[in-house]
Structure 1
Amino acid sequence: MLAKAGDVYCVYNNYLKKYTACQITKIEENDKNPKAVILSLDWSGEEPLKEAELSSLQPLYKDFMYWNRGIHLSNVDVNVPTNYTFVGNVTPLTDESTNSYATWGNGYEVYRQLKWQEIPKEQRDAFKEADKSEEKVIFAGEECGISKRRLNDEWKPFEDAMELKVFPCLTHLTLNKWHKNLYEYLQSTPFISELVLENHNQTKLDFSKTSVCTLSIDMTDVEELILNDGLEQLILLGEIRKDCNIQANGNEQTLLLQCDKVIPKLKGLQALGKLHVIKIEELDIEEVLNAYPKLTELRLWGKPGNLLHFDTLSEFKELEVLTTMDLFGFTAEDIPRPDSLPNLRRFWMNSLPEDAAKVAKKLYKKRKGEGLDLWVTKPRKPEWLAQNLDNPFRSWDGQENITPANAKKAAALYRKTRAGMVKLVESSPDEMMQGATELVKLYTEGFNKMDKGKYFIETVEREDIYTALDDILDLIPAEFNIDKENLLNFFDELKDF
């Protein structure tokens, strides 16, 4: 079904356990792919919206966290997902356009706004006031701006977590050790949306009374982890004990679990709804099914890597979202048939075997017309994989903003620099430092030359170039006592992108 201006839809929001609503306010035709402008509405209900209620609808005004008060608009695909229910058509509530692009989602912005409004007004006002203030406060013996949003205890060392209360709008906290009164602080503020905690030396962790949305946690020696019921994303770091017990307090279906390379053997998350696995070298889909049979979302990223028993995906009957990137080891015959995944509404595959890509597009072409978000791109021939296993710039091949020539030049420059560094390992410390500096110079100048006049190197590409160089510098043996940071700083000074 194609969206039309004035259409009102509702969708079930798993976070709220209620329905939320939106309106299509216009169709933007000035693009080769027309977009629908979607407006979030200030409505939620236990039952789907009824046509008789359309005349009373108002826009949702979003002002949670750092957002300035305003309506919430996004450009989305004109194809309406199957999980959205058409209610009726009324005069659009606004004729504004927007530069924001998104997928249809499931009313998450409405959920965030309603959760924000549950926070006592005096705390919300203090948050907003601090965010706009230039006032200075004393923290850990130093003068700091009261408007601090992020804090890392490596940059600003402190002992007692209650000292953090001087920052009313702090939302991101990175800790590299356990701090006194940490639980007390987290329970006293509803604003810490992201917490990273490493080297804590705790065997039991209890965040049940906190308001954290994203938790990145070092699982080394952890026997039990208790989560808060509003946690949205859990990122596991460090060594994970076999059969570590995780209590999600009934929040498993909306929780997103992210882990590296393999599926950890955990207790307590059998009803997990969302799983992301990154840096995959080899992963057995049967293991995923046995551990988490009720997944509604599965995202898999390769290093690149191989997937075993890919055909097992057809047994995830509740699956709504499936994405893969840089993953191989399966064939066209392993692509799940559309009738085996009746709830699928988003199917993305990026960088996959050529024969599988052709069949995936063919099988799901009809479902795309019915609202499936289908995106299958970068089909790879076997010889491509053989040439690119060690290429950190493989994702550049096929990107719209990068020419094939520059993708090849980047791979060649990486291999040449890496080979030069391997050769230097046999030299003396003085020769190593001089040679490494020269290699960094040539590497950086190579990308400067590629970008000159074309300006294709943006945030993602810049990060790719930096990460590839960082990996090359890791080849320098520790006994040479060479400061890698100095070489990375030299790179920063030389680069023009």
Structure 2
Amino acid sequence: MPNRKQAAPPRPLVVGDVVAAHSRDLGEWTVAQIVQLDVDSQTAAVLELDWSGPEPSSVADLGDVVPLRLTHHSWNGGLSFCNQEWVLPRSHKVVGAIPLLHDKPANCWTSGWHLGDQLARQRRWDIGVREDPVVAWKADYTGDTVNEFLGRSTAPRPEVTQLTIRDIDSLDCAQLVQRFPEVAWLHLHGRLGLLSGAGELNRLHSLQRIRIVDLFGMTRGDCLRPQRVPELESVDLYSVPAEYASAMRSTWRREILAGTYVFILRTRKPEWVAENRSNPLRDWDGRERISASTYKRAVTQYKTTRKAILQVFAEEAADVQLACMEEIGRTYGEAFNALDRRSGFIETVEREELFAALDHIVNESEALHGPALEDARDSLISGVDSVRDW
């Protein structure tokens, strides 16, 4: 949601309005009707219409329009109808109003306006095409694969306008912009990774939407500037440096009235980054079923266990390491027994992550102090298994 609640959408929008936008999926313009506006949630209920064609100048250009009904995949004839943020994107326009084609509230919510996506899927389904097509203008990489690509001497890919990169440990934005100069939608998802040269993203003059999650290294000076990326209509930041988030918020809040949606959540101070980049349980922060207090206690226990294991590797003689590791394992297992009794949050995934955290500590210890006895890791796990209830 926008950071400050408003009494009406920042761009003029009323119930009954028909909104038009160009769809890359369709290669044409398409339309939707605003069915409801909710001040409390700052959302608009948007009903997609079964129409596409040349850019309309008014509703008269649409002819007789009807709601889009979906039968593709698991849909059973329901309307393409959902609540989304009520900031009408810059690239969308109101072409007039018509009587409401539906008068009931929407029962689903989504982020981002994607007019045309469902209509394109439905039309493919209607002609018997069951899979989404592979298109040159969409690219999806992992951090490792994109860095391998950026490291090669290959030509830029100007045809790519939607770029998603996941599991980023490190990424050079200067190289990214050089290889993908025409990106309009950019989604960067890190593993508490480092984003260098983020200010270079200002060279993406066609940029419309940016989403950055769990990436760091950006400073106030890396802020995107409206005069450099004038088409930007969505700023979505989650778990990024606080100073970068502050600069982006103050810069782009002024652009909300022009059609830029601003959503910034969980900004991180340098101390948090330093503490959590090496914390293998960091994904528990905010996870459903894991309260803030449980997460805090879990991290405290992880740090206590890490300190104890590092001390054994650094100070204890080989003949006592195994016994020490087994005792550390028992303490670890009992501590998480007590935590799990409070809320029963440890399931298969969490159990695997708790053992992975121990592996992480042992690997770190061996990197610092050299290999331990061959059975040290087994003794640690044996200690956990002898007492754990999870």
The TM-score bracket by the shorter chain reads 0.7 to 0.9
Cα deviation for residue 330 of structure 1 reads 2.5
Q: Distance in 1 between matches of 2:226 and 2:20?
A: 25
Residue equivalent to 1:93: 101
Structure 1 unaligned blocks of 5 or more: 120-189, 194-212, 214-229, 232-250
> Is 1:270 matched up with 2:157?
yes
Distance 1:283 1:10, change over 3 A: same
Identity of aligned residues (%): 25
Q: For structure 1, which segment, 44-53 or 339-348, has the greater mean C-alpha deviation from structure 2 after superposition?
A: 44-53
Contact kept, 8 Å, 2:18 with 2:34, in 1: the verdict is yes
What amino acid does structure 1 have at the position aligned with 2:136?
Answer: E
Matches within 5 A, 1:136-215: 190-191=129-130, 193=131, 213=132
Which of 81, 95, 106 is the matching residue for 2:115?
Answer: 106
Distance 2:140 2:91 in 1: 23
What's the CA shift for 1:400?
10
Once the 2 structures are TM-superposed, how far is the Cα of residue 369 of structure 1 from its aligned partner? 2.4
One-letter amino acid of the structure 2 residue matched with residue 13 of structure 1: S
Which amino acid is 2:139 matched to?
Answer: L
Partner of 1:468: 353
Q: 1:339 aligns with which of 227, 232, 235?
A: 227
CA drift at 1:385: 1.8
Q: Distance in 1 between matches of 2:89 and 2:347?
A: 34
Q: Does the 8 Å contact 2:301/2:332 carry over to 1?
A: no
The 1:391–1:17 alpha-carbon spacing in structure 2 relative to 1, beyond 3 Å, is same
Matches of 2:90 and 2:181, distance apart in 1: 22
Runs of at least 5 residues in structure 2 that lack an aligned partner in the other structure: 1-10, 364-372
Give distance in 1, aligned partners of 2:115 and 2:356: 39
1:56 to 60, 64, 75: 64
Letter in 1 for 2:337: E
TM-score (norm 2): 0.77
2:141 alignment partner, one of 241, 255, 258: 258
Could you tell me whether the CA contact under 8 Å between 2:234 and 2:260 is conserved in 1?
Answer: yes
Q: Offset of 1:321 from its aligned partner? A: 1.4
| Structure with the bigger percentage of strand | 1
Equivalent in the alignment of 1:295: 183
- Name the aligned partner's letter for residue 45 of structure 1: G
Q: Corresponding residue for 2:74?
A: 66
Separation of aligned partners in 2, 1:257 and 1:431: 48
Larger mean CA deviation between 85-94 and 383-392 belongs to: 383-392
Size of the aligned set, in residue pairs, is: 355
Letter of the structure 1 residue corresponding to residue 222 of structure 2: D
| Structure 2 residue aligned with 1:116 | 125
The separation in 2 between residues aligned to 1:114 and 1:470, in whole angstroms, is: 48
Contact in 1 for aligned 2:281/2:357 (Cα 8 Å): no
Matches within 5 A, 1:380-419: 380-394=268-282, 404-417=292-305
Q: 2:32 aligns with which of 12, 22, 27?
A: 22
In structure 1, the partner of 2:51 is 43
Q: Residues 420 and 439 of structure 1 are in contact (CA less than 8 Å); yes or no, is this contact kept in structure 2?
A: no
Name which of structure 1's ranges 363-372 and 389-398 shifts more when overlaid on structure 2. 389-398
How large is the Cα RMSD of the aligned pairs? 3.7
- 1:310-331, Cα deviation, whole Å (9 max, x unpaired): 2111101111111212222232
Measured in 1, the distance between the counterparts of 2:328 and 2:57 equals 65
How many angstroms apart in 1 are the aligned matches of 2:116 and 2:337? 46
Tell whether the 8 Å contact from 2:51 to 2:65 is kept in structure 1 after alignment. Answer: yes
Q: How big is the shift at 1:14?
A: 0.5
CA distance in 2, matches of 1:428, 1:44: 75
Q: C-alpha displacement at 1:447, in angstroms?
A: 4.3
Q: Which residue of 2 aligns with 1:284?
A: 172
Q: Offset at 1:111? A: 1.0
Q: Are the structure 2 counterparts of residues 316 and 401 from structure 1 closer, same or farther at C-alpha, using a change threshold of 3 Å?
A: farther
CA contact (8 A) 2:45 2:83 kept: yes
Distance in 2 (CA, whole Å) between partners of 1:270 and 1:94 is: 43
Match of 1:448 in 2: 340
After superposition, residues 354-369 of structure 1 pair within 5 angstroms as: 354-369=242-257
Separation of aligned partners in 2, 1:49 and 1:439: 70
Call closer, same or farther: CA 1:387–1:114 in 2, change over 3 Å: same
SS at match of 1:252: coil
Distance 1:343 1:70 in 2: 33
Q: Answer whether contact 1:305 1:326 (CA < 8 A) is retained.
A: yes
1:330 is aligned to 218
CA distance in structure 1 between the aligned counterparts of 2:298 and 2:237, rounded to whole angstroms: 24
- Higher helix residue share: 2
Note if contact 1:263-1:288 (Cα within 8 Å) is conserved in structure 2.
no
- CA shift in 2, pair 1:470/1:111, >3 Å: farther
Whichever residue aligns with residue 118 of structure 1, its letter is I
Cα distance in 2, alignment partners of residues 345 and 355 from structure 1: 21
State TM-score, norm by structure 1: 0.62
Q: Is contact 1:27–1:36 with CA below 8 Å preserved after alignment?
A: yes
